[in-house]
Amino acid sequence: EIACVAPSAAGGLELSRWTLAGDSFFRRTDAAADGFTVVRYAGTALITGSGAGLQVVTAAGETITLARDVLADITGVAVEDTLLAAASPEWIWVSRRPAAGGAGRPADLATGALAVRNPLAGPTGLTFADGRLVAWRQGAGTPAAVTVDTGAGAVTGTVAGLAAPLLQLEPSPGGLVSLDRAGTVRLVPLPGGSDAGRQLFEAWLPGWLCVVAT
């Protein structure tokens, strides 16, 4: 299954879900959810972020609110094992991933989430790579990405090798894959590793909007 957030005919952003089965690729439903800006799979459910907060969209299509905050826009979400991280321009939160509640419903987001002042001070994307949380700067401006300790909340390293404002930063085996606004795809190492400081791969692919390493 693939989830896609893309501009709708009305000019906003809509969420659609697609299924790849054999040689067929089709949209699961005609109905689309509006207002989401970022989605991440957590099992068969989707963790979604928007200006209104965090939600879970179940496999059956039911939307359940995890957290609501009218003051913070959620610009990045990352999920790994038992952890859920979310970012706004001012803060990064790390908490335990919601477990299933009664009748297959997710439980409420646990209180006491770790709150970290966002070191990038602006719209921020998040991903987990090699067990570490990586925060990266979205939009225009100098590209930047850092690793964050999910226990203490401290910045533990800076990702090197980024040359232009980023559209996307995702985990890849042994590092990260980036897509920037100049149309360049790069494989870059995580800080502290044996390949730190080396350029692993670079290709100019103008017009690309999304890249994933498998």
State pLDDT tens for residues 11-58.
Answer: 778 888 888 888 999 987 655 566 778 888 988 888 888 777 888 888
Residue 159: pLDDT over 90: yes
Residue 98: pLDDT over 80: no
Please tell me the predicted confidence (pLDDT) of residue 197.
66
Residue 103: pLDDT over 60: no
Residue 108: pLDDT over 60: no
Q: Which residue has the higher pLDDT, 192 or 196?
A: 192
Q: What is the mean pLDDT of the chain?
A: 84
Among the ranges given (21-25, 97-101, 169-173), the one the predictor scored with the smallest mean pLDDT:
97-101
- What is the percent of the chain where pLDDT is above 90? 36
| Separation of alpha carbons 13 and 37, rounded Å | 7
What is the arithmetic mean of pLDDT over 71-93? 89
- Place 71 in a pLDDT band, splitting at 50, 70 and 90: low
Please, are residues 166 and 125 in contact by the beta-carbon 8 Å criterion?
yes
Please, are residues 164 and 175 in contact by the beta-carbon 8 Å criterion?
no
**This prediction's pTM:** 0.69
Residue 167: pLDDT over 70: yes
Residue 171: pLDDT over 90: yes
- Name, in order, each residue with C-beta under 8 angstroms of 131's C-beta and a sequence gap of 6 or more: 80
